[in-house]
Amino acid sequence: MEYRTLGSSGLQVSVVGLGCNNFGRRVDEAGTRAVVEAAIDQGITLLDTADMYGPKGLSEEFLGKAIQGRRLDVVLATKFAGPMGEGSLHRGASRRYIFEACEASLRRLGTDFIDLYQIHFPDPQTPLEETMRALDDLVRQGKVRYLGCSNFAGWQLVEAQWIARSEKHEGFISAQNQYNLLERRIEAELVPACRAHEVGILPYFPLASGFLTGKYRRGQEAPEGTRLAAGRAAERALTDARFDQLEALEGFAKERGHSLLELAIGWLASKPQVDSVIAGATSPAQVEQNVHAGEWRLTPEELQQIDELQGRRR
């Protein structure tokens, strides 16, 4: 396993992280323990969850129990801002709610500090100055070690970093956004902003909700129980244009002795601004596959070939 420093910090994270959004929903407590133990044994250190994952914070609760006795072996990351109850007081990024959310996450996780505390979504109802000041206070209190953001646009990240620098607050060391071979919009603004402000990128949905595993095939019914089996997500994803890209990428990988999954994760791990790829897993076998996929490093020439294959110009 390769380890990288996250952003401008000294925090070391595994190049493949574990996404915990399935815990408490698709994976029960025993299954969570099995996946987490497999991840740690494989060298994964970054475990990423959120208070809103699983009903009533079950992902945090199951994860906290799974790391008992191994808390100092992992980098524990969670998020706040999503709805955790009815009404406007139980969501967002106000000072009042941030303190409430942090205490609740600490209780569910069974720990006295969070390594990486991330705002899950921008909150247009709260001044960003208020949010950054409250997060800085959590760091000074020792309840949080580092700060990150998720789903921020490039300009929002820049504004947050400017506030932190001008007010001498702790700034963000990471930005977690959707990023994969089929979803590259963050390359236009967020990636350059992260590069300029020394913020590491933590891609989520690296497999495009499973589309980049190869389990979906043109002209065939989606496997029952999968994320793209039905609904609007399936209508957007299972198109001829997407299958054209899928088949071209799969051919590229096979020519080099790799699977499509290995290309999806290896391509992200080969990007200089990416510090850890957040890959979900529902079984120890999937953990092992993700870790193995994170070992492939594409050459600059191969990265350029991917761009050309997708009709992109550098």
Residues 106-125 have a mean pLDDT of 98
Residue 243: per-residue pLDDT: 83
Residue 226: per-residue pLDDT: 63
Q: What is the pLDDT of residues 228-279, one digit of tens each?
A: 656 666 667 777 788 888 899 999 999 999 999 999 999 999 999 999 999 9
Residue 231: per-residue pLDDT: 64
**Fold designation for 3-210+274-285:** TIM Barrel (3.20.20)
User: Among this protein's residues, is 146 annotated catalytic?
Assistant: no
Per cent of the chain over pLDDT 90 is 85
Amino acid at 306: I
Cα–Cα distances (Å) from 304 to 259, 265, 296, 308, in that order, read 19, 16, 16, 6
Asked if residue 158 has pLDDT above 90, the reply is yes
Strands 3-5 and 12-14: antiparallel
Residue 259: per-residue pLDDT: 96
- Number of Cβ within a 10 Å radius of residue 84: 18
Residues 155-169 have a mean pLDDT of 98
Residue 210: per-residue pLDDT: 86
Amino acid at 44: I
Secondary structure string (H, E, C) spanning the chain: CCEEECCCCCCEEECEEEECCCECCCECHHHHHHHHHHHHHCCCCEEECCCCCCHHHHHHHHHHHHCCCCHHHCEEEEEECCCCCCCHHHCCCCHHHHHHHHHHHHHHHCCCCEEEEEECCCCCCCCHHHHHHHHHHHHHHCCEEEEEEECCCHHHHHHHHHHHHHHCCCCEEEEECECECCECHHHCCHHHHHHHCCCEECCECCCCCCHHHCCCCCCCCCCCCCCCCCCHHHHHHCCHHHHHHHHHHHHHHHHCCCCHHHHHHHHHHCCCCECCEEEECCCHHHHHHHHHHCCCCCCHHHHHHHHHHCCCCC
Q: What is the pTM of this model?
A: 0.93
Q: What is the pLDDT of residues 121-153, one digit of tens each?
A: 999 999 999 999 999 999 999 999 999 999 999
Residues 205-229 have a mean pLDDT of 75
Q: How far, in Å, CA of 273 to CA of 151, rounded?
A: 16
Q: Catalytic pick from 3, 53, 204, 216?
A: 53
Which phi and psi angles does 310 have, rounded to 5°? -95, 5
Task: List the chain domain ranges.
Answer: 3-210+274-285
Q: What is the pLDDT of residues 25-59, one digit of tens each?
A: 999 999 999 999 999 999 999 999 999 999 989 99
Q: What is the pLDDT of residues 172-198, one digit of tens each?
A: 999 999 999 999 999 999 999 999 999
